[in-house]
Amino acid sequence: MPKPGVFNFVNKATWDARNALGSLPKETARKNYVDLVSSLSSSSEAPSQGKRGADEKARESKDILVTSEDGITKITFNRPTKKNAISFQMYLDIMHALKNASTDNSVITVFTGTGDYYSSGNDLKNLINDAGEIQDVVATSTKILREFVNCFIDFPKPLVAVVNGPAVGIAVTILALFDAVFASDRATFHTPFSQLSQIPEACSTYMFPKIMGPTKAAEMLLFGKKLTAREAWAQGLVTEVFPESTFETEVWTRLKTYSK
């Protein structure tokens, strides 16, 4: 495969990942991948998820909290011991919550996180702990992710992200599909896809260049530059940055005004 151009994000990231692995044996490459994931998140082991279908019925989950008050549906990543990493079930729960929010009496829908992190993105250990064949796991994951992203694209009400802390991976890329992104000044935005031998998702290879221009998008999506909240604001990914000390009060006061 010839080396793709710098703005061909998907193929370029794939090319970089393959060359980074070089001629490593398959099992060694997999072990290195797992070790890298573990080093980026000091989370505990997740239980085996088993083989899942994208059409599996979503159930109530303590890892996703959904509340509705003052015209606001609030969807909270609630897995603080794993930095709010998103499991397969959480994807299903979020889709279920968005479906309900699209037809309820709320005016806006807000995402935020519990604890120090907004979300550390995909819980990549799901792919490792799953009992199914890797090909089946990847196929199922792809289907779930596609349906998940479509829920944001098709959502009929304003979507607001209240980014209370660091955001990683899909927790960052999906922000381009929100109508407003409010961030604490301690938030950071990191997309280490090439480092993890992954490719950007959630329409980010299209949306990020539209928002911040192709060179800044490449800096994030290809080269994994971590942005501060102020840098993300300067590049158009964040609507407004608030001091950590007044973040919750200021943001929620404003959101309640928007929802009237």
pLDDT confidence of residue 160: 98
On the question of pLDDT at 56 being above 50, the answer is no
What is the identity of the amino acid at 23? S
Q: What are the structural domains, with CATH classification, of the chain?
A: 9-258 (3.90.226.10)
Helix, strand, coil shares of the chain, percent, nearest 5, are 45, 15, 40
What is the identity of the amino acid at 204? S
Which residue did the predictor score with more confidence, 19 or 78? 78
What is the identity of the amino acid at 256? K
pLDDT confidence of residue 59: 47
pLDDT confidence of residue 170: 93
Would you state the structure tokens that stand for residue 37, as one six-digit string?
Answer: 């994931």
Q: In angstroms, rounded to a whole number, what is the distance separating the alpha carbons of residues 250 and 253?
A: 5
Would you state the structure tokens that stand for residue 145, as one six-digit string?
Answer: 């992710």
pLDDT digits (tens, 9 = 90+) for 127-157: 665 555 677 777 877 888 889 999 999 999 9
Q: How confident is the model at residue 9 (pLDDT cuts 50, 70, 90)?
A: very low
Asked whether the beta carbons of 179 and 160 are under 8 A apart, the reply is: yes
pLDDT digits (tens, 9 = 90+) for 196-233: 777 888 888 889 999 999 999 999 999 999 999 999 99
DSSP E strand boundaries for the chain: 64-69, 72-77, 108-113, 159-163, 167-168, 180-184, 188-190, 227-228, 240-242
